[in-house]
Amino acid sequence: MSVASEDFKRALSAWATGVTIVTSRSGDRIHGMTVSAFNEVSLDPPLVLVCADKSSNTHALIAESGVFAVNVLSRDQEALSNRFASKKDEDRRFEGLETDTAATGAPLLRGTVAAIDCRVVAAHDSGDHVIYVGSVEAVFSTDRAPLLYCRGAYGGMGAD
Ligand SMILES: Cc1cc2nc3c(=O)[nH]c(=O)nc-3n(C[C@H](O)[C@H](O)[C@H](O)COP(=O)(O)O)c2cc1C
C-alpha cells in the first residue's frame, strides 16, 4: 500500500522535536543546516544520529569530513534556525556569528542549549536521506530553555 506524500508529511509534522544546527568542517570549509532529525542512539558507548537529505550541502561535507557537531538551539534562536534552513544566502550562514571550534574541527555556535561533537562511525543509506551515526567525542550543556518545533511552528519550553 503506498502512502500519499502529503499524508505522510502531515503525520510527521505532528511529531514535536527540538531544533538543532548540524555543522561540519573539511579543511577550511565550514557549513551547517537546521536539523530536527536528531536522536540519541546509545549511552555506552555514547552514540547519536542525524538524518541528512542527500541533496543538502551539509550531507556532502559530512560525507567528506567524517565529522559533525549538533548545536541544540535555545528558545531565543528561532532566527538562526530559519537562517540555517534557508537556501537564500546559504554560503553566508555563519556571517556575523561568533563560533568556537570543536575538537573534531566542526563549528560550535554560541548561545545554544547544548553541543555534541561527533565522529561518524556509520552512514546508512536510507531513501533520500543518509543516517549518520556519530561517536560522541565531547559534550557541552547549559540550563537554557530549548527551542521546539511542531506542525511548522516554533515554540519554547521552560524559563530562560
Ligand atoms: C525545523 C527544520 C528542521 C529540519 N530538519 C532537517 C533534517 O532533519 N534533515 C535535513 O536534511 N534537513 C532538514 N531541514 C531542512 C534543511 O535545513 C534545509 O534544506 C537546508 O537549506 C539545507 O542546507 P544545505 O543544503 O546548505 O546543507 C529542516 C528545516 C527546518 C526548518
Nearest CA to ligand 1 atom 19: 85
Query: Contact 52/35 with Cβ under 8 angstroms?
Result: yes
Mean pLDDT of 30-55: 98
CB atoms within 10 A of CB 74: 23
Nearest CA to ligand 1 atom 5: 35
- Note the pLDDT of residue 1: 64
Report the residue among 53, 68, 95, 132 best suited for mutation to probe ligand 1: largest number of ligand atoms under 8 A from its CB.
Answer: 53
**Distance from first CA to last CA of the chain, Å, rounded?**
46
Rounded CA-CA distance 115/145 in Å is 14
Q: What is the pLDDT of residues 63-97, one digit of tens each?
A: 999 999 999 999 999 999 999 999 999 999 999 99
- Note the pLDDT of residue 159: 65
The three cell numbers locating residue 71: 548545536
DSSP assignment string, 111-154: T-SEEEEEEEEEEEEETTEEEEEEEEEEEEE--PPBEEEETTEE
